[in-house]
Amino acid sequence: VQLQAFGGGLVQAGGCLRLSCAASGRTFSSYAMGWFRQAPGKEREFVATISRSGSITYYADSVKGRFTISRDNAKNTVYLQMNSLKPEDTAVYYCAAAPGPYTIQTMYNYWGQGTQVTVSS
């Protein structure tokens, strides 16, 4: 499966953005999807994941209550709604596909190219 993330941009602290990740192929619903991010000079880290049906979601503690992951299997798309953004959310955000809703990035087989999110203070 091929993934393409988009929707990043520059936003002020307290603002919101919605990232989208479009998947090619007919097998999108066979994969759990995740979002990860990498800030400058830091390791890539887990943000959120959603199961194949969308019934199970997990979030990193740093984004819990502010970010919401969702998916539309009919549109082969997964979303990350980001509210109450903070400067520390600044990073390149990646979407990825895995057999299950894992929080560990090594379990993900397919990765998108990333989209930059910059939150100004």
Strand partners, 4: 22
Q: What percent of the chain has pLDDT over 90?
A: 97
Backbone angles phi, psi at 17, to 5 degrees: -145, 155
pLDDT given for residue 25 in this prediction: 77
Residue 96 · residue 75 · CB < 8 Å:
no
pLDDT tens digit sequence for 62-75:
999 999 999 999 99
Residue 22 · residue 4 · CB < 8 Å:
yes
HEC states along 65-112? CCEEEEEECCCCEEEEEECCCCHHHCEEEEEEEECCCCCCHHHCCEEC
